[in-house]
Structure 1
Amino acid sequence: KCTHCNKAFNQKVVLQTHMVKHTGEKPHLCMFCPASFSQKGNLHSHVQRVHSETKGVPLFPCLDCSCVFKKLGSLNAHISKMHISVIEVP
């Protein structure tokens, strides 16, 4: 539940996305320039529109951070290296 407007959400991530409307926070930083965005989708659109060498070339954003890749293989390597944790079973 939002502490500013009492709007309720089923998922925590949706509440977190909503909260930036009140705080003005822009946690998604462009890796190519000083621009920042309140939502990952806006960052992705910015990178594709402004920084893509060939307009219309699909980019592959990481859903766990603000990194964006031009090749799916690079995204997959990034995810396996940076975001997958191994859980030890006793």
Structure 2
Amino acid sequence: MKCGKKFSAQEILDAHTEKHSGDKPHKCIICPKQYHFRADLKRHMFVHNKKTNPYTCTTCGKGFSRKDHFKNHCLSHERKAALYDMRRKLNES
């Protein structure tokens, strides 16, 4: 499969081509997530380490290592609640 991207070095092209193979050899031992690259799996593993997740959602208990990801997650709960309220009000009408 070709996507048309061009790279200045063969090794960068080879690494990019791996993404299109569908093969994800780097598997998390804790959850079903799989990754093309070892570095991506390594970054993912922080999700499972409570010490590196100082931000915890009070709604569902999910932990986050990054404040921006935590804030986005909390907004998703707020959006779901707002949507639920809108649907409830429509059904009451």
1 or 2 for the larger relative contact order (CA 8 Å, sep ≥6)?
1
Larger Rg computed on CA atoms: 2
The structure that is helix-richer by fraction is: 2
Query: Does TM, scored on the shorter chain, surpass 0.5?
Result: no
- TM-score range relative to shorter protein: 0.3 to 0.5
